[in-house]
A and B are shown apart, each in its own frame.
Chain A
Amino acid sequence: MNIKEYISSGIVQSYVLDQADAAERAEFEKLSAQYPELVAERKAFEEALEKFALQNAVVPPRQVKDGFLEAIQNPSINQSKVITMEQHSNAPVRKNSGLRFMAAASVVLLLACGWFAYRFYNQATELKASNSDLQTRLDSAENTLNKIVDEQKLIKDPNVTVVNMVGSTAAPQSSANVFWDTASASVFLMVKNMPKLPSDQQYQLWALIGGQPKSLGVFDSLQNNVVLRMDNTKKADAFAITIEKKGGTKSPTLEKMQSSGRTKAPL
């Protein structure tokens, strides 16, 4: 191998400017290990090339340096740059950064949509639950109101006689009111305070007509201030409540009379 001839063949420039193919590069590197003058020639050309390039430099805009420094100081930006450079053969970097921004933005948008959907779904579920809860409470309030209105009507109706039942000596605490509509013969009972009974017993309401008891039905000691509709009676001198076995009896057990009241004030 005539190294002088080899050097002057243009292989040095070819190697440095990346114009040599793989075989030429391998040969050049092998010979460089043997011939210091080849290395010296390569270095001389590289230095001339560098000097020329520095003399013909074009100053880039400041933002490029800022972008570069930011990228190497911020690992996350740096990461994304890494990806860009590794697939750089397909798309220019500027377009990539736009695409990357769009991709990032759409992921953010998707996540935001998901979050809102989740939020709205939860809100809808909560609203449905609270709506049905409100409906239940409204129904219950309406029922209560209707009852109160009915009771008020009953109390204020001029045809209705209110009989205050007072406790007997057997049950001084017991008290209830009978509302007797003399026009329609309807009888309503409002329990004020009746002690709870064993499960095999019930209270029974009686109308006393000419000294004879007439059953107006049985009731349990429910919560206070509940108006119960009892059987109708057109006549009554007095009302009485007794404790009877469950289901009631035909004639009252008077010794178990809890309370009674006359329909007319005694003269």
Chain B
Amino acid sequence: MSAIPTYTEQELVSLLKNRDNKAFGYLYDHYSGALYSIILQILSDTELANDVLQDVFVNIWRKIESYDSTKGRLFTWMLNIARNASIDTLRSKTYQNDRKNQSMDNQGEEPLVALVTQVNVDNIGFRKVLAQLRDEQRLLIDLAYFKGYTHEEIAEMENLPLGTVKTRIRSALIQLRGFLK
């Protein structure tokens, strides 16, 4: 994104909390692409991602009062809203059913229109960075960050001690810090 910020973060947050629609327009222009990217990395479906992105921004508009700048930057807060909304959608029954139907319909048949909206997310955003991790770390980050499982759930699923799961994830996150620098 080449948008040049015209507000400091503090000014922007103050305007947003006053429900300034211009500020929300700026917020959208500046951050929608970054949030859309994370949503796509979780959902891999542009149509669903469009709907989730719109709801994420409406939710940001609604919940801006509860944003606490002492706990983190505005983008971090929005990123977590986008990630949680995407994971909720990913886990919803309807999404799961869609997936099941697609894979059944797909056996030996021509590709469905729905598949056209699928995107290859391996080469965008954090996924690209994750490619640099070791397989075992990448798997855990995928389950924890992109699929939203708790560390306890992952330990059970992967038949690993909880301590091992935590250590591997921490270690992966430290490496991530290095990649982003």
| A interface residues, Cβ below 8 angstroms from B | 8-14, 16-19, 21, 29, 42-43, 45-61, 63-65, 67-69, 71-73, 78, 81-82, 84-85, 88-95, 97
Contacts and interface: CB of A to CB of B under 8 A. Distances in A.
Nearest to A85: B59
B1 A46 contact: no
B93 A82 contact: no
A65 B40 CA distance: 16
Given A85-B62, A92-B51, A93-B52, A57 B173 contact: no
B151 A21 contact: yes
From B124, B125, B129, residue with most partner A Cβ within 10 Å = B125
Given A50-B75, A65-B28, A91-B92, A56 B128 contact: yes
Contacts of B91: 89
B126 to A, nearest CB: 8
A72 B19 CA distance: 9
B1 A9 contact: no
17 contacts: A16-B72, A16-B76, A29-B71, A49-B76, A52-B125, A52-B129, A53-B125, A54-B31, A56-B37, A59-B32, A60-B32, A68-B61, A69-B28, A71-B54, A72-B24, A85-B85, A90-B93
Given A14-B169, A81-B55, A93-B51, A57 B92 contact: no
B1 A72 contact: no
B62 A82 contact: yes
* Dominant SS among interface residues on chain B: helix
Contact of B173 (A10, A63, A88, A94): A10
Contact of B58 (A16, A47, A85, A92): A85
Interface residues of B, number: 67
A60 B33 contact: yes
Contacts of B75: 46, 49-50, 53
Contact of B73 (A13, A29, A47): A47
B122 to A, nearest CB: 13
A92 B181 CA distance: 35
Contacts of B125: 52-53, 56, 58
Nearest to A10: B170
Interface string B135-159: 0000000001100001100000000
B113 interface: no
Contacts of A53: 34-35, 37-38, 75, 79, 125
Contacts of A42: 72
B65 interface: no
Contacts of B57: 64, 68
Nearest to A61: B50
B95 A92 contact: yes
B94 interface: yes
B10 interface: no
Q: Which of A17, A56, A58 has the most CB of B within 10 A?
A: A58
A18 to B, nearest CB: 5
B28 A45 contact: no
A69 B1 CA distance: 20
Nearest to B30: A54
B116 interface: no
